[in-house]
Amino acid sequence: VTTVFQLPAGVTAPLKELSKFLIVMAMAAIGLNTNIVKLVKTGGKPIFTGFCCWLGISLVSLGMQHILNIW
């Protein structure tokens, strides 16, 4: 929103907190909806693929943060 419109900090601060809360709620809903028994029954390949995706995304994210001097 702030890239398109200039809004006062009094407006953007609550929106930032709300966005964090909504992301946490969405992640919790995904986690609570996961059936671990079904996941284990499907075998190791999907779990390994998910782990590889997680690792790749994490490394790219951390690398970009380092390049941009954010981290």
Render pLDDT for 43-71 as a digit per residue (tens, 0 to 9). 888 889 999 999 999 999 999 999 999 97
Q: 41-57 burial, b if ≥16 CB within 10 A, otherwise e? A: eeeeeeeeeeeeeeeee
At 36, the pLDDT band (50, 70, 90 cuts) reads confident
pLDDT given at position 4: 81
Sign, CA torsion 13/15/20/25: positive
Predicted TM-score (pTM) above 0.85 = no
Whole-angstrom Cα distance, residue 39 to residue 30? 14
On the question of pLDDT at 1 being above 70, the answer is: no
Render pLDDT for 8-28 as a digit per residue (tens, 0 to 9). 888 888 989 999 999 999 999
